[in-house]
Amino acid sequence: MIENLTIAMPYYESPEMLRTHLQYWAKYPKEIRDRISVVIVDDGSPNYPAIDVLKGQKLNVSVSLYRVMENIPWNHGGARNLSMWFGDEKEWVLTCDIDLVFPWESAEKLLKANLDRKCVYKPKRLAKNDEGDWVEAKRHPECFAMTREMFWKIGGFDEDFTGYWNGTFTPWRKQMKRVVSQIVEFEDIHFLDYCFVVDDATVSDWGRRGSEYDVHRNPPMLLKRRQATRNYRPKNYLRFKWETIL
């Protein structure tokens, strides 16, 4: 059994999806709410900041909100780093994308689970089929339960590779496989995938493709990213301006 759990997720221009999370958190029984906290990092949303969704809402779980003050394209690796920056390094954290809801039944099972700090754990993913039923889908490649200590032992995300979709995650995942004792796949703990169910949950370009941050426009950095599969040493975390909102 673990004492407390933090759900950490980045946010960008997804107000309806954030409202969906609020609806699910409202269903958490009190004994679960008391042991759950949520960390949201708004990755510079210019039109629909997360605070506009949260203000005036009754928050049934403890919510911390940070905002990246620069609208840096595809900075979700940096946002992940910020979400892991504060708190007890021994605490368990569930990394979660904005389109993945964690239902209370799964939260209850995770809190009761006997977890090994040397391992990371991968929930199932359920998605709706054409008939509207929740069915098993491929597990999400970027969402895990782990301690903060393990996250930083892996190295955090290398913000040199910010600038295009999935730029930071592939090197991080390969490093994770080298560092952790085992990647354990849960069979009875799952996310609900709302991509293509809620309109703004679907990944969109948002006009961010091919920006000056894109590593493909920087040949030396692109070479470094390829070499990171063998030599992964991130540095200079949180190289952007950010602020605490809640």
Residue 207 pLDDT more than 70?
no
Model confidence over 77-121: pLDDT tens digits?
Answer: 999 999 999 989 999 999 999 999 999 999 999 999 999 999 999
Reduced to 3 states, what is the DSSP secondary structure of residue 182? strand
Higher pLDDT, 203 or 231: 231
Give me the chain's average pLDDT, please: 88
Model confidence over 41-76: pLDDT tens digits?
Answer: 999 999 999 999 999 888 889 999 999 998 888 788
The DSSP symbol for 195 reads B
Cα–Cα distance, 72 to 159 (Å, whole number): 11
pLDDT at 45: 92
Model confidence over 153-168: pLDDT tens digits?
Answer: 999 998 887 876 666 7
Domains of the chain: 5-234 (3.90.550.10)
- pTM as predicted: 0.90
What residue type is assigned to position 113 of the chain?
A: A
DSSP 50-106: HHHHHTT---SSEEEEEEESS--TT-HHHHHHHHTSSS-TTSEEEE--TTEE--HHH
Q: Among the listed ranges 16-25, 29-38, 126-135, 200-209, which one has the minimum average pLDDT value?
A: 200-209
Highest mean pLDDT out of 93-107, 194-208, 211-225: 93-107
Residue 217 pLDDT class (50, 70, 90 cuts): low
Cα–Cα distance, 26 to 150 (Å, whole number): 30
Cα–Cα distance, 168 to 237 (Å, whole number): 13
What residue type is assigned to position 213 of the chain?
A: Y
Average pLDDT of 176-203? Answer: 87
- Long-range contacts of range 105-108, CB-CB < 8 Å, 24 or more positions apart? 106/189, 106/190, 106/191, 107/5, 107/28, 107/32, 107/36, 108/29, 108/32
